[in-house]
Amino acid sequence: MENDDFDTSTPQGDLDFKINLLFPGVVVRKDLVKAVKGNAIVPTYVLEYLLGQYAASNDEATIQAGIETVRKILAEHYVHRSESELVKSTIKERGRHRIIDKVTVSLNEKADVYEAVFTNLGIGGVVVESATIKAHPKLLVGGVWCICDIEYLYTEDARVVPWVLGSLKPIQLSKFNVEQYLEARRGFTTDEWIDLLMQSIGFNPEMFTRRGKFFQLVRLIPFVERNYNLVELGPKGTGKSHIFSEFSPHGMLISGGEVTVPKLFVNNSNGRIGLVGYWDVVAFDEFAGRKKRTDKALVDIMKNYMANKSFSRGIETLGAEASMVFVGNTSHTVPYMLKNSDLFDELPEAYHDPAYLDRLHHYIPGWEVDIIRGEMFSAGYGFVVDYIAEVLKSFRSQDYSDRYQQHFTLSPDISTRDRDGIHKTFSGLMKILYPSGEATREEIEEILRYAIEGRKRVKDQILRIDSTMADVKFGYLDKDGTWHAVTTLEEGEYPTYYHRRHQETDVAPMPPSGRTPSGGSKTVPEAEAEPAKPAEPEPELFQGHRDYQEGDRGVSYDTLLVPYLRGASQITIIDPYVRMFHQARNLMELIDALAQRKDPADEVTLKLITVENQETPEKRQRQLEDLFQIKQSAAILGIVLDVEFVDPQAIHDRSITTDTGWKILLGRGLDIFQRTTGPFGLATKYQKRRELKGFGITYLRDAIPSESRTRSEGH
């Protein structure tokens, strides 16, 4: 797959040079989008379409001239909602003016004409020729960003709209040469090609692991594979919906709460086809939420469509090619979900159904995807997103699902539906990474494992919900007959909880969601079959006061505080001095020590009551950023950090209290260690190596109501 004309060990700068050399005119520097966007609420693909016209170069002078041209175009032609009246006036005075706006068309049956609505300009009833609709049918569903010439012709007939559509051009690539694309691809190694795709998405590949890059690439599969059903659930801020809203003019992102049968499939009152008939990808944002109301008819139609690629309009059955993507946020950690429910725990009740879940081809583990930070965005070159969108679209009709069979055979345990899911993911990744179909045995094996893992994650959760389904042995055989098992990462991390099935409802604890677990006896892995050893009694904790002297060593949060915090589900820390970097680090170290001592499946709410750093705006901002990063990191460990800033006068004592009845009076708060010197000293890593400041600490055990104690013990 390598090209001898290039040094494959070249640094990132030379990769950008190669990108411009082999893909001239269809790549752009990704940081330019921010440079030109300003306050324009416009999709990335619109901006990159313009940048691709005027700034697709590696010559700095050309780039700067192109940026100025694009800025001028946006300033003169992009319609801001707040300036719509000014634009209308410009059209009236000039008689004709070019605009960039989102256009949605509907049929006026009474007048037998198509009429357009311009979203930002705020005008409607603009007549559109039938030929325009035939050429661009997506105008009828969801709207399309366009460059339009609008004319103003006033008449005294009040029924006639004065706005006239002179011309309309959707913002998307007009042509694509597949042979040139395949030939240029041969000039890149696999690693370089993956990095080019990452930069095309907008990310700096150096900030991602190989596995992290593959999660981003799987998000592209719905654009290159017909009828691909993908789900991604994970924490907030990981960019789950970004690709489906900004990346391609062929994808439509809608809120999960706005889904209806007429909008998605067909409006039986007028026979109009919904989104699946016009878009390559329909993505449902904010799809999670147990209590969300759902339409049972919609769920049934969706299940049939996802399985059979068809839906009914009266007595007529229609087919469509749209891929379905479901993205949503999780509110619990992975071990918590595995212990109490399953990895689909956050889905609405109607979708927490084996029949629906079994139609999903791949599950991206959103908890493994990094939360997006500023330094993760790319300043290198990538494809103009409209170009790569057309590339992916052009491969939708091809099938690469059998390309692994010359080297490997799937487990005979794998059912037809499991096999379909694996095949579609494999085919999609092949088309994205190796569009010519040429790949080594090792490269094929890598993407086959990803494909199997994603489907296994779906199936394993279905087995937890429906105990009547048979276990499946996920893996593959090579030509020598050697068996290669495939596991999920969470399976290795939490085996005790991962392999559980829901118990009989009369003996199983009710999951937090309020769902009743499916029937069936509990299946216990062999590793868990040994009789449980009796738990050793907890040592009695000291109560009273202790003093520590300046310069003492040998103390850590793990011995000083954590034994008193174990078993608590609610912890409150009152400390006005969590302002500086080392003080924020102290808090993170306490959270880390607490996380190591608790059951990974348990969740703890930790409330910090502290004071804002008012010394300078910069120090205040740094404090907020540090606490935000700690909050994100703590959430991964199953600790929910809640920070409350109060007036300094409102804090009288520094303390830690728990819902298990302990109150710890902290003379110095958490700031008990003297500053360490140098990043490589052992004291930087090990608290017991640090010298102490002089301080006192008092442990008190309060009497708490028995019901509160029971609640905390049962957490």
Per-residue pLDDT tens over the stretch 416-475: 999 999 999 999 999 999 999 999 999 999 999 999 999 999 999 999 998 888 889 999
CA distances (Å), 204 to each of 199, 373, 489, 638, in order?
Answer: 6, 11, 24, 29
3-state secondary structure of 492: helix
Fold of 81-170: OB fold (Dihydrolipoamide Acetyltransferase, E2P) (2.40.50)
Domains of the chain, by residue range, sit at 34-77, 81-170, 185-394, 408-515, 544-713
pLDDT for residue 175? 65
CATH of domain 185-394: 3.40.50
Nearest partner of 166 among 119, 132, 137, 134, judged by Cα: 132
What SS3 string covers 96-136?
EEEEEEEEEEEEECCCCEEEEEECCCCEEEEEECHHHHHHC
**Poorest-pLDDT segment among 356-370, 383-397, 433-447:** 383-397
State the pTM of this model: 0.79
Edge-to-edge, what's the strand order for the sheet holding 408-410? Answer: 408-410, 475-478, 483-485
Reported as a pLDDT band with limits 50, 70 and 90, residue 224 is: very high
Nearest partner of 626 among 676, 576, 587, 575, judged by Cα: 587
Dist. CA 523–CA 666, nearest whole Å: 47
Dist. CA 569–CA 585, nearest whole Å: 22
- Over residues 12-57, the pLDDT tens digits come to 578 999 999 999 888 888 888 877 876 667 777 788 888 888 887 7
CATH of domain 544-713: 3.30.870.30
- Over residues 80-138, the pLDDT tens digits come to 888 999 999 999 999 999 999 999 999 998 899 999 999 999 999 999 999 999 988 88
- 663 beta partners: 657, 700
pLDDT for residue 386? 82
What SS3 string covers 374-441?
HHHECCCEEECHHHHHHHHHHCCCCCCCCCCCCCEEECCCCCHHHHHHHHHHHHHHHHHHCCCCCCCH
Reported as a pLDDT band with limits 50, 70 and 90, residue 535 is: low
Nearest partner of 366 among 215, 204, 205, 201, judged by Cα: 215
- Over residues 699-715, the pLDDT tens digits come to 999 855 444 444 444 44
